Amino acid sequence: MTNLKSIMVAAAAAGVILLSSAAYAAGIKTYQVTGPVLEVKDDMIAVQKGKDRWEIGRDAGTNVTGDLKPGAKVTIQYRMIPDDRDGCGGQAGEGREEEVGKVATPPS
């Protein structure tokens, strides 16, 4: 009976470790913003969200599905990453938004 109890405790511990490592491996949390496009540039997409103008950075790896032009309603997935990658300088809370390579435009 003691061996069975030890095996069950070890299995439960292994399960907890696997679940916590899976959550850690999920990576950086992604966010999304939906609204009409205000402006499109090679390195930025501006979207109207409520009364606010959101400017999301983009690069050559950005995937665009549909026609990305002012007035089109889009959903942009992005993530927050720090501007200062070496940890020197800047103030707490400073950062930038980085798209995660997907801009979806709903069909018209």
Instruction: Note whether 56 and 76 are within 8 A (CB).
Output: yes
The pLDDT tens digits of the residues spanning 10-37 come to 555 555 555 544 444 567 788 999 999 9
> Smallest Cα–Cα separation from 65: which of 19, 7, 17, 107?
107
Q: Which pTM was predicted?
A: 0.55
Looking at the DSSP bridge assignments, the partners of residue 33 are: 76
Residue in the block written with tokens 């959903």: 75
Go through the domains of the chain in sequence order and give each one's CATH number: 30-104 (2.40.50.140)
Q: What is the pLDDT of residue 57?
A: 87
| Amino acid, res. 6 | S
The pLDDT tens digits of the residues spanning 55-73 come to 998 888 888 888 889 999 9
Q: Which of 49-63 are b and which e, b meaning 16 or more Cβ less than 10 Å from the residue's Cβ?
A: eeeeebebebeeebe
